[in-house]
Amino acid sequence: MKMLSGVKIVNLAVNLPGPAAAQRLSALGAEVVKIEAPSGDPMETYHAGWYRDMAAGHTLAKLDLKSEQGRAELDRLLGAADLLISASRPAAMERLGLDWAALHEKFPRLCQVAIVGYPAPRENEAGHDLTYQASLGLLTPPYMPRTLLADMAGAEMTVSSALALLLQRERSGKAGYAEVALSEAAASLAEPLRYGCTAAGALLGGGIPEYNIYKSADGWIAVAALEPHFKKRLEETLKISTPNEYQAAFSDQSSEYWQEWGKQMDVPIETVRS
């Protein structure tokens, strides 16, 4: 049974966070109509396979929202929808007459989650995943980030905001509006660093041997024996306690060997994959 069966969503967002959120909501049973400009979604150019996966099962409508015909079709879809996901800057939405005040007056049962870059008063400022991570100390130049933290966290925040709005409407009968700022989504994932937990040499930043990365005979392994019972079993079995003893012990066998050993001993050890 899909918990969102019967819920209708219109997704105006392109690129990543909005479509990723719509994909999650669709998996929960919602019916999604994805609106694209006649030129399409840039994500299809960047990563066609990922674009197709995120839009799987959705109804696609290409509309020119600056035309009377396009706006009429959008209004028809919004009139039957429970939720709108948008990812344009608020100023752009207002120019199209799609700001929350205008939409709520026209469609009083429609909830909206608006994905923006920054919270007010910077809601119309340009930004992207890379700049959000840069501002939070999450980059290690000259290396690019291995994943899109802000976008993926923003997608999950969009899902939780959507569920909260739909629940609120179910309880009160009133539709609501929520903004998801991608900079704040990235900041939420940067909390361990902000509190110092993962800073270099800190508890979870290489400061203790039982929670660290080690070179194996053919690569690297991640050892996460953080809880006392894991640490005790690991150190007593291998007869190690210092960082140098840890490294010496793990250097003798392959990464796959240690991963399998960890499974057998019930100690969290994983191969570091490239």
pLDDT at 274: 84
Same domain for 254 and 173? no
Task: Tell whether 206 is covered by a domain.
Answer: no
* Among candidate residues 150, 127, 156, the one with its CA nearest the CA of residue 22: 156
Confidence at residue 118, expressed as pLDDT on a 0 to 100 scale: 95
pLDDT tens digits, residue range 56-79?
999 999 999 999 999 999 999 999
Question: Same domain, yes or no, for 125 and 169?
Answer: yes
Question: Which among 163, 192, 221 is the end of a domain?
Answer: 192
Are residues 151 and 248 both part of a single domain? no
- What would the pLDDT profile of 31-42 be if each residue is shown by its tens digit? 999 999 999 999
Domain that holds residue 215: 211-271
% residues pLDDT > 90 (the chain): 99
**Is 199 domain-assigned?**
no
CA 233 to chain CA centroid, nearest Å: 35
pLDDT in the model for residue 99:
95
**Mean pLDDT of the 236-263 span:** 97
| Phi and psi torsions of 102, nearest 5° | -65, -45
- For residue 109, the 8-state DSSP code is T
Task: Say how many domains are in the chain.
Answer: 2
Q: Both 264 and 179 in a single domain? A: no
Q: Which two tokens stand for residue 47?
A: 């990563």
Residues 182 and 232 in one domain: no
CATH assignment of the domain containing 52:
3.40.50.10540
Share of the chain above pLDDT 70, in %: 100
198 is a domain residue: no
Work out the pLDDT band at 265, boundaries 50, 70, 90: very high
Neighbours of 196 (CB within 10 A): 12
The answer on 251 and 125 residing in a single domain is: no
Residue 87's Cβ-side half-sphere holds a number of Cα atoms within 13 Å equal to 24
Burial of 82 from C-beta contacts in 10 A (0-12 / 13-18 / 19+): buried
Single out the residue of 126, 138, 122, 156 nearest to residue 16, CA to CA.
156
Q: Are strands 111-116 and 83-86 parallel, antiparallel or unpaired?
A: parallel
Predicted confidence (pLDDT) per residue in 91-113, tens digit: 999 999 999 999 999 999 999 99
Q: Calculate the average pLDDT of the chain.
A: 96
Q: What is the largest CA-CA distance in the chain?
A: 76
Q: Does 40 lie in the same domain as 160? A: yes
Q: Does a structural domain hold residue 241?
A: yes
> Do 220 and 143 belong together in one domain?
no
Residues 105 and 56 in one domain: yes
Asked if 237 and 188 sit in the same domain, the reply is no
> DSSP letters along 47-105, please?
-HHHHHHHHTTPEEEE--TTSHHHHHHHHHHHHT-SEEEE-S-HHHHHHTT-SHHHHHH
Do 54 and 120 belong together in one domain?
yes
How long is the chain? 274
For residue 36, being part of any structural domain is answered with yes
pLDDT value at 122 more than 80: yes
Query: Does residue 153 carry a pLDDT above 90?
Result: yes
Mean pLDDT score, 208-227: 98
**Quick check: helix, strand or coil at residue 196?**
coil
pLDDT of 1 reads: 67
The answer to the question of residue 249 being in a domain is yes
153 alpha carbon, distance to own chain's centre: 3
Helix and strand numbers (H, E) in the chain are 13, 9
For the chain, helix, strand, coil in percent to 5 are 45, 15, 40
- Whether 205 is covered by a domain: the verdict is no
What average pLDDT does range 225-239 have in this prediction? 97
User: Is 197 inside a domain boundary?
Assistant: no
Same domain, 248 and 120: no
